[in-house]
Amino acid sequence: MNTTISTGLIAFAVIFGGGMLGFLIGPALPEPHRGSPTERTVQNAMRTLSLLSALVLGLLVATAKNKYDTNTNQVEHFAASLMMLNDDLVGYGAGADDMRSVLRAYTAARIASTWQFAGGPTSGPDSPSPLPFLESLQRKVAELTPATEFARARAREAAQIVDELVRARWLQAAQDTTQAPRVFVWVLMGWLSMVFIGFGMFAPRNPVTFAALLACAFSIATALALIDDMDQPYKGIVIVSPLPMLKALDEMGGPPPKS
């Protein structure tokens, strides 16, 4: 959340500061540089830059939203796979009770390491990492020795699901990088600052103009802050919902006993 607020504040300062700089530059310009031909040329240039800024802003919003949606879908699919695996282990019988305990421990550890919120499993300095639980579960499922055809079918399904969970875990780790190029954000701030300088140079000096520039700069800064926030889908204000994972943990009978 701190980086989101910082991005918003920096964007607001740069963009609105450009408008205020334009307010100062405008009256200081020599008379020949303040005529209608100059104003029209500057306004046309600012319209071009505004259009380019809007295109880049739309690209950044789409990139951040796509990352957020992708992570949401991954969490839902992951939670569904956990519930299917638990169902297979239940169907296998008493021989899989130990594996169900490991599965509950993994799910609780995964929730605690990914989300920090009241009412759910929490992570601390001494909290176990989720990965060893998943690796242990994969090994235990591979070592199952079913005695009936039904148990063999359940064991095969469980092994396939565990393999999918391991692949999904590493895929998510590979995707856990910032996708919105930071240089685009900073360049966009510079462009918008220039646009506001152009607005301020020829704008009338009155409270209404000041308020309009203030509101516009605040709105754009908020959009840039939300881009930064959605680009970190498990931190900040707009986060991927943990409810599917909590539902999976509840289906398994709640959090594992504390050791």
| pLDDT tens column, 74-93 | 999 999 999 999 999 998 88
Q: Give backbone dihedrals phi and psi of 150, rounded to 5 degrees, phi first.
A: -65, -45
Region 148-163: mean pLDDT is 92
Band (pLDDT 50/70/90 cuts) for residue 259 is: very low
**How confident is the prediction for the chain on average, in pLDDT?**
86
Q: What is the largest CA-CA distance in the chain?
A: 95
Check if the beta carbon of residue 151 is closer than 8 Å to that of residue 93.
yes
Q: Which element (helix H / strand E) includes 13?
A: helix 2-28
Q: Where are the domains of the chain?
A: 2-251
Q: Among residues 29, 130, 74, which one has the least CA distance to residue 242?
A: 74
Q: In angstroms, rounded to a whole number, what is the distance separating the alpha carbons of residues 69 and 63?
A: 10
Write the pLDDT tens digit of every residue in 41-55: 888 999 999 999 999
| For the chain, percent of residues with pLDDT exceeding 90 | 48
Q: In angstroms, rounded to a whole number, what is the distance separating the alpha carbons of residues 116 and 93?
A: 34
Q: What confidence score (pLDDT) does residue 88 get?
A: 92
pTM attached to this predicted model: 0.78
Q: What confidence score (pLDDT) does residue 193 get?
A: 95
Length of the chain: 259
Q: What confidence score (pLDDT) does residue 180 get?
A: 59
Q: What confidence score (pLDDT) does residue 228 get?
A: 87
Write the pLDDT tens digit of every residue in 173-216: 777 665 656 788 899 999 999 999 999 988 888 999 999 999 99
Q: With 90 as the cut, is the pLDDT of residue 245 above it?
A: yes
| For the chain, percent of residues with pLDDT exceeding 70 | 90
Region 87-110: mean pLDDT is 91
Q: Among residues 229, 240, 190, 230, which one has the least CA distance to residue 7?
A: 229
Q: With 60 as the cut, is the pLDDT of residue 258 above it?
A: no
Q: With 70 as the cut, is the pLDDT of residue 38 above it?
A: yes
Q: With 80 as the cut, is the pLDDT of residue 19 above it?
A: yes
Q: What confidence score (pLDDT) does residue 179 get?
A: 60
Q: What confidence score (pLDDT) does residue 254 get?
A: 54
Band (pLDDT 50/70/90 cuts) for residue 255 is: very low
Write the pLDDT tens digit of every residue in 137-148: 999 998 888 888
